[in-house]
């Protein structure tokens, strides 16, 4: 059936990546770091500056604006909509990724009072020229996401060590 074939083809132009990591901090500390959008340049390699438009709280419907690295050393503005906030467990966003649309989220699950399982997932609906390189793009998104999760872990855990050292 042609309609079913077209639907399968359309679905195949969407990919999803997942990056998981255990962070040696409680869920509230991880949540506070992830939701501090001003600190996103510490862990997101293409983000140079980030803020919630108008100083609004991070809540559904808010816009997170960024100054991001572009090609040839140029910078560009980009914006994402906050689609869900369920403190301290889940926050999600939607916005463009190049010529495509994307959604991403951070899901946090406490292991105990000292550890948090973190999952970052990203879904991209490929459009335009990006449809020509789906596997390459998916691999790139996965590598960046894995690096971002490692950077989040390092930042949150080092803040905990610094806090412990300053107390002694």
Q: In what order do the strands lie in the sheet with 63-69?
A: 14-23, 115-125, 100-112, 90-97, 75-86, 63-69, 47-52
> pLDDT class for 90, splitting at 50, 70, 90?
very high
Mean pLDDT taken over the chain: 90
Q: Coil, strand or helix: which one is 57?
A: coil
Q: What is the pTM of this model?
A: 0.85
Specify the range with the lowest mean pLDDT, choosing from 33-42, 83-92, 153-162.
153-162
Tokens representing residue 57 in the block: 């709280």
Nearest Cα residue to 122 out of 38, 49, 19:
19
CATH 3.30.530.20 fits 13-167, yes or no: yes
The mean pLDDT value for 98-121 works out to 96
Q: In the predicted model, is pLDDT for residue 75 greater than 70?
A: yes
């Amino acid at each position: 059936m042609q309609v079913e074939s077209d639907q399968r083809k359309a679905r195949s132009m969407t990919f999803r990546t997942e990056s998981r990591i255990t962070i040696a901090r409680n869920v509230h500390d991880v949540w506070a770091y992830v939701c501090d959008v001003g600190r996103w340049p510490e862990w997101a390699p293409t983000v140079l500056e980030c803020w919630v438009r108008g100083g609004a709280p991070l809540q559904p419907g808010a816009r997170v604006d960024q100054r991001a690295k572009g090609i040839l050393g140029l910078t560009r503005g980009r914006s994402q909509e906050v689609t869900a906030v369920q403190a301290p467990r889940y926050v999600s966003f939607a916005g463009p990724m190049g010529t495509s649309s994307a959604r991403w989220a951070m899901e946090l699950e406490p292991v105990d009072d000292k550890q948090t399982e973190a999952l970052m997932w990203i879904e991209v609906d490929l459009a335009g020229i990006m449809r020509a390189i789906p596997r390459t793009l998916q691999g790139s998104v996965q590598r960046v996401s894995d690096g971002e999760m490692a950077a989040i872990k390092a930042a949150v855990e080092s803040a905990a060590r610094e806090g412990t050292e300053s107390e002694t």
